[in-house]
Amino acid sequence: MTDILLLAVAIITGFIVAFAIGSNDESMAPAVGSGVFSLRIALGLGAGFAVFGALTLGRGVSEKVGKDLVNVELTLAMVLAIISAMAIWLILVSVGAGIPISTTQCIVGSVMGVSLLEVFLNPDLGINLIDTIHYPTLFEILLGWLISPVIGFIFAALFYAAIMRIRGHGKVNSLMAYERQERIAGYLLAVFLLVTVISRGGNDVANAVAPLLRISEFRYDDFITLSIRIEGFSDIIIPGFAIPLLLGGIGMATGLIIVGKKVITNLGSEVVTLTPFSALAGSMSVSIVLFFGTAMGLPLSGSHILVAALIAVGWAGKSPVKMDGVKKIGISWIITVPISALLGMIIYIPMKILIPV
Amino acid sequence: MFFRILGNKNLREKGEDLINQHGKKVQIAGAKLYDAVEALSKQEWEKVKSLSKEIDKLEQDADEIKDELAEEIFAKGSYLPHDTELRHNLISRTDKVINQIDLTAEKMVLKQYTKKEIPKILTDMAKRSWECTDLLQDAIKFLWTDYREARKVVRELEEARSEAKDLYYSFLETCFAADTVSGDLLYLKEVAASLLDVIIFAERVGDYIKALTFKFA
């Protein structure tokens, strides 16, 4: 494959993957569900801050794309198959059901599927099929998936109780006072969510543009000179790494605006009826649990924590939990790994032919 | 920027003002209905007709306020969704009270009452219905500023409804005791039933206000 063709494939794949990640971004669901933001404003802010996060934080994020999970060296063809499988499943779930799923689960499934197929097709690797997976890492990831909802549930219930205590639940003496508190909760929620969207933009963009960052022109230490000459001005010089990050950011923003609204609306209304207080408790638990979980090296899933947190605030606030919505989400989580694995295998075959090395 | 995201303060204040204005229209209509029943008892037929028209105009004004709230305040996302919903419910329930007042006034002019006197019970009921619309207006005002006062006013509303119900039953007893059923008797019974409905609708708004003071505490 020629360099230019490889570059085109990497750019298109990067954009599609970023689009898929954006389409399944549920971060703004609590704000829309509680009515703090209208859907249009949530999408606009989510898109803008995702691009900002990608550009400002994307450079520092070192995404492994499930590298430690398998005992196989991932080739470019494998990485492209993995992220393509992830993108397809994310878009299918977002468009079809509007359910938030874990990007990590998609990656884990497709990494295992692609790696197992590679070991099966390539006996020269000298790896036994059973030894393809690094089981301690798999166990660690599985543990993360199991504890994520539990931690999210506990923390959200605790935060909800704390918020209700701080605001003097049952002691508010007028609708005006109640609505004033609601607005304060709304502002805090907005701040929490925007910080979450920025950090998510920075984290997720690496998944999308990982293959692009392998291309020499886009390495961190290279600069690209744009040949737009304006009288009296020097050439515009931009760092090479900014191009894939910007591409990823725009891709995520586009996915969020075009498809993401379904996921946001569904999660914001299909699990529990949210108020600014319960939405704040849910969002706080996601941000804080993810922050400390990541610092402690725990592989937690933001989507799992958020869904569990919303169930928790519904339960703590005596608001009925819509079990049909919860069941749908649970089923999609269970089938994500095997389907991603299967998709990864299917896509890897043509990729291996097109990109032999 | 956040003001636009979380609602506009000026629009919210205007919304509160419109809801209070709507409550005021209900209260004035209630007072005019009492005047109309008083006029009926004094055989001032032209005054009854004129008051009925005034009540109709008040009902139309209240509808305009309701529409303005929907178009200029609610539709512009001035409040959070459930705050909009509670205001919409409140105004819709209050609007039923003024609709019932208007209906009662319209019924009163359907037939010219020919007897010289009407039973005092009827004017008492009309007075209760006026008091109820008065109390309702206070309850709405206190909902924004003082839950305890709002609940106190709602209790008074409940008591007024209870008294009105007793008055209605004793009027029914009088009707049932009559040897013959005349058009005048049917007329008075219909007016009395309509007056009781005004009070019942007002009490329902009071119940809703009371529920809100517990829900949003």
Determine whether the interchain pair B147/A35 forms a contact, defined as Cβ–Cβ distance below 8 Å: no
Task: Give me the residues paired with residue A236 across strands.
Answer: A226
Q: Taking 50 as the threshold, does the pLDDT of residue A47 lie above it?
A: yes
Closest Cβ opposite residue A35 in set B81, B148, B216: B81
What is the pLDDT of chain A when averaged over all its residues? 84
Q: Are A289 and A98 in contact (CB under 8 A)?
A: no
Q: Which residues of chain B have pLDDT under 50?
A: 1, 3-4
A321: left (phi over 0), alpha (psi -120 to 50) or beta: beta
For A100-134, the pLDDT digits (tens) are 998 888 988 999 999 999 999 988 888 888 899 99
Alpha carbon B147 to chain centroid distance?
Answer: 21
| Residue A36 Cα, gap to closest chain B Cα (Å) | 6
Whether the per-residue pLDDT at A221 is higher than 60: the answer is: no
**Chain-centroid distance, C-alpha A109:** 15
CA triple A121-A127-A131, angle to 5 deg: 110
Phi/psi of residue B180, nearest 5 degrees: -125, 150
A356: contact with B, CB 8 A cutoff: no
Q: Alpha-carbon distance A17 to A66, whole Å?
A: 16
pLDDT number for residue A1: 54
Q: Is B77 left (phi over 0), alpha (psi -120 to 50) or beta?
A: left
Helical segments of A122-239, H only: 135-166, 175-209
CA A23 from centre of chain: 9
CA distance A165 to chain B (A): 12
Nearest to A89 by CA among A354, A274, A347, A315: A347
Residue of B126, B117, B212 lying closest to B167 (CA atoms): B126
Helix residue ranges per DSSP H, chain B: 2-5, 9-41, 45-68, 81-108, 120-145, 147-177, 183-215
Q: Shortest CA distance to A78 belongs to which of A172, A188, A210?
A: A210
Query: What pLDDT shows up at residue A292?
Result: 80
Kindly state whether A170 is in contact with chain B, defined as any CB-CB distance less than 8 angstroms. Answer: yes
Window from A231-235, A249-253, B38-42 with minimum mean pLDDT: A231-235
Compare all CA atoms of chain B with the CA of A42 and give the residue at the minimum distance. B5
- Other CB atoms within a 10 A radius of the CB of residue B5 amount to 18
Residues from chain B that touch A48, judged by Cβ atoms under 8 A, are none
On the question of pLDDT at A159 being above 70, the answer is: yes
Of the candidates A50, A117, A55, the one whose C-alpha atom is nearest the C-alpha of residue A82 is: A117
CB of A159 closer than 8 Å to CB of A284: yes
Nearest CA in chain B to A41: B5
| Better-predicted residue by pLDDT, A45 or B6 | A45
Question: Using alpha carbons only, what angle is made at residue A200 by residues A194 and A201, rounded to the nearest 5 degrees?
Answer: 90
Q: What is the pLDDT of residue B54?
A: 97
Length of chain A: 357
So what's the ipTM on this one? Answer: 0.81
Tell me the two tokens of residue A97: 């059901």
Q: Which of A290-304, A328-342, B126-140 has the lowest mean pLDDT?
A: A290-304
Q: What pLDDT is recorded for position A354?
A: 83
**CA-based nearest residue in chain B for residue A318:** B215
**A172 interaction partners in chain B (CB closer than 8 Å):** 147, 216-217
Asked whether residue A338 carries a pLDDT value surpassing 60, the answer given is yes
pLDDT at A10 over 80: no
**Per-residue model confidence (pLDDT) at position A62:** 47
Residue A350: pLDDT band with limits 50, 70, 90: very high
Nearest CB neighbour to A186, from listed B6, B146, B216:
B6
Cα of B5 vs its chain's centroid, Å? 35
- Strand A236-239 and strand A223-226: pairing? antiparallel
Q: Does A268 touch chain B (CB under 8 A)?
A: no
Round to whole Å and give the CA distance between A341 and A194: 33
The whole-angstrom separation of Cα B206 and Cα B132 is 10
Chain B contact probe: residue of A32, A43, A174 with most B CBs at under 10 A: A174
- Which residues of A fall within a CB distance of 8 Å from B146? 173-174
Predicted pLDDT of residue A154: 94
Residue A228 has what pLDDT?
A: 53
Selected residues 228-257 of chain A with any CB under 8 Å from a CB in chain B: none
